[in-house]
Structures are given as structure tokens and as C-alpha cells.
Structure 1
Amino acid sequence: MKNKDTIYDIVVHTINLILLGAIGFLAFFSVFNISPNKNMTSSMIAFVTLTLLTVMWAINYWLQVKKRKWVLPIAGTVLFVAISFLILDVGIPFFYDVFIR
């Protein structure tokens, strides 16, 4: 049983490092904005989005480590990616149009 727990830990940590790297990639390109139309609202929206993604990732990671079931890394990762795309592609432009413009 020890070997099975070790393999589970390796899989969970690897998947979550990849997800955290994707959040870091988004954060890097949110900070270094080379567009000539810089405004503070886009920086604020980027900060809120990155905070939301990081909190969502932390809850996902905590559940995966706490529950220790094999379905959670797969389901948690798929749900995290789906919710992230929904937030980034639909939610952020909608709220930007409604509240900022």
C-alpha cells in the first residue's frame, strides 16, 4: 500500500505543479502588458482573475491531498480547466462590459 500512496502523491503533485505553472504563465503576461492602451481597470481585473484562479487551485489541491481518491486528480483538473476557460473567456469580458464600460 505504501507504493500506491507514493504514486498517488507523485501524480497529484505533478498535475498541480502544471496547473500552478499555467497560473504563473497568466500572471507573467498580465504583469508585462506591452499594449499601448494600458489602464488600471485591466490590471485590477487581471489581479482579481489571478486571485480567483489561485484560490480555486488551492481548494482543488487541498481536496485531492485530503481525500486521496484517484478520481479527484482527473475530475479536479478537468473541472479546474473548464471553470478557468469559462471565467477567462466568458466571465471577465462580460463583467468588464457591464461594470467598466
Structure 2
Amino acid sequence: MARINDVGGVEGFGPVDTADDSEPFHADWEARVFGIWNALRGQQIFNLNEFRDAIESIPPREYLAASYYERWFLAISDLLERKGVLEPGELDRDELDG
């Protein structure tokens, strides 16, 4: 069964932006999510396959509405809850902005 991220050959998403973007992060919270991901991977809390699966498991509506690093955040939150590191809802997206 295809997941929402598997859009090969699907039309209607508009043109792909191929402009080079020299900035790796567009907001401080994105850099924090990347840092959290890096630290958790370093501690072997999850592996790349688990992370990829968590991103691909985001419900389609949420996946399409989320930015790149929002998807990372959702996947990390899901993995930490699944593994019992966090209680459900303990990591609130709004707290990343502060």
C-alpha cells in the first residue's frame, strides 16, 4: 500500500522549486529539532529506518500540511512516545518556539 510520501507519477502538486536555498534552517526551532534528532540518534534511541517509517506514517492530511522539519518533529515525538521515553503529548510543538 502506498503512503502519502510516495507521490511518484502523481500530478497536481505544482512545480518543484529548484532554487538553491543556502540556509539550512529558516527558524530557530528547526535547528533545535535537527539537534534533538542528532542527539537521539547518537544515543541510539531510534535508527534511520524507524525514523523514516515514522515520517511515512504521518496521516496524509497532516503530512501534506506540515513543513519538512514539522514532519521531523512529528516523527520524533511519535517515536519517543512509542518507545516510552515520553508520555503522549508531553513534547508540545509550541514549546519549541520559546
Task: Give the structure-2-normalised TM-score.
Answer: 0.31
Task: Give the structure-1-normalised TM-score.
Answer: 0.31
- Return the index of the structure with the highest Cα Rg: 1
Write 1 or 2 for the structure with the bigger share of helix.
1
